[in-house]
Homo-oligomer: A and B are copies of this chain.
């Protein structure tokens, strides 16, 4: 019986700020990063290679070290566990990791300790799927309704969703799961692209990338907005010209507006018929999103990449605040919390269009979207999953998105696990600050404050 024998957590950062990839109105210079957790075991996988679980959460640079430190705090509690026992009761693993009341104080269930928990649990789920020699979507869709409910964290949700209601949702889909899986194997899961619309790109690049998206079979393109209204009008006009009247344009403000300002700005862009406005204001402002939604209809409201836990999603649904749920696989506490949100979304009939991009998020969301369609919502109406075409080359089993003849979509992953294992060579290159890339980088391009020294309980910026 394999056991978890050790843990490593690594700080991996890609210098994306050099090219304005990922730039938006709130985040101008992110260095896309991963707090990357490996759970080592003494077992071997079906190919005879060492069995290990690989998981991550996504950050945009500075502070990734803080998440790494928090993940190390949490992950070490898994060392010594029997992998078969663990995989048979992933609800217990979740409760073990969330049972530390002292760490809970630092959230609860939000911010750094929740991001790091996601990384650790993502690694645990990857390990469980590798042990079963299945892609994670297969492990999950093979589960019975009772098994899925047992892994889900339903705490604080019972006023909106009881365990019995959750079971009823899952049982209603049980007999037709195979049909939907066969469909997805044929068509892929619908995808849209954000690669065209980063705020730091000029008009010519925007025009070219929109055209490439159309040529690649995309029916959806998303633009970043919110820095300057005149610029936004010009950029939306370019995008709409190229997309034509029938493809979908989405816009994303990344939280830059107050509520009233959001309403005014979106009304000025409504002439371009956006499908949704994403993150119009503070991600914590449930009532604010509801007010924006009432005011800007028929433009939809979408949010979720910064929605920090299931209790916030519960309220977004209860308040009828959103048209699209963009849960994030690096921010929610992995499959255990994601299943709870998928169940809530199904009950409230809100389509889930997961946030992706970043580092490894596309690799993860494909499993979640398959689970949602096959076992929980049973519906593709209004569903489309984000795809950003960068950094996939660092993963051993990158997601595949292509025109299947039914539109552009994620192709069902075929290899075991959660698709989040990185190439050792990528880690050696981009580990911060000692990887080959960062060690050789000009100090001015190392987008980090001066390092600090922690010694004997004292943290002091180095050189002061």
Contacts and interface: CB of A to CB of B under 8 A. Distances in A.
Interface of A: 5-12, 26-31, 59-63, 65-73, 75-77, 79, 100-115, 155-159, 255, 258-261, 281-288, 291, 306, 308-309, 311-312, 314-315, 318-319, 431-435, 447, 449-450, 452, 454, 456-461, 464
Given A75-B461, A287-B319, 10 more contacts: A12-B457, A27-B105, A30-B102, A66-B73, A66-B106, A69-B452, A159-B258, A282-B311, A284-B309, A434-B457
A6 B73 contact: no
This protein's copies in its complex: 2
B155 A258 contact: yes
A30 B105 contact: yes
A186 to B, nearest CB: 37
B459 A105 contact: no
A109 B26 CA distance: 14
Given A26-B101, A65-B454, A285 B315 contact: yes
A114 B113 contact: no
A432 B454 CA distance: 12
Nearest to A281: B156
Contacts of A260: 158-159
A127 to B, nearest CB: 16
A434 B452 contact: no
A394 to B, nearest CB: 15
A30 B103 CA distance: 10
A28 B101 CA distance: 8
A158 B258 contact: yes
8 contacts: A5-B464, A8-B458, A10-B459, A30-B105, A62-B103, A76-B452, A158-B258, A159-B258
A11 B457 CA distance: 5
